[in-house]
Amino acid sequence: MPNKLLERLAKQTGSKSMAAGILNKRGHMKGNELTAEGQKRQAMGADGRAKDRAAKAGGGKPSDYSYNAKTNIAHKKGKTKR
């Protein structure tokens, strides 16, 4: 299985070795292989991970959030920007 989690984070950080270090520290990778938790995160996709991060930070469930692919950020549904 290709490590899309590593590839995406490497694009965001600009360094594959930095991305690998972050994923190893988080427990999503061990060495060069995804852990069970890493496989779970990869299967979520970018939108699922963004919604999960937002729910952990802002409360509620991931389904309470909508995803903006341009910014890679999830916002609570119904919440308006000022």
Of 42, 40, 49, nearest in space to 2 by CA: 42
Nearest to 16 by CA among 27, 4, 26: 4
pLDDT of res. 8: 94
pLDDT of residue 2: 80
Q: What is the chain's length?
A: 82
The verdict on residue 81 lying in a domain is: no
**Does 82 fall in a domain?**
no
E strands, 1-82, are 29-30, 33-34, 65-68, 73-76
Number of domains in the chain: 1
Q: Is 48 part of a structural domain of the chain?
A: yes
- Show pLDDT as tens, one digit a residue, over the chain (82 residues): 689 999 999 999 999 999 999 999 999 999 999 999 999 999 999 999 999 999 999 999 999 999 999 999 999 998 655 5
Q: What is the pLDDT of residue 14?
A: 97
Structural domain for 68, as ranges = 4-76
Specify the long-range contacts of residues 4-9, CB closer than 8 Å, at least 24 apart. 4/42, 5/29, 5/34, 5/38, 5/41, 5/42, 8/46
Q: Give the per-residue pLDDT at 80.
A: 56
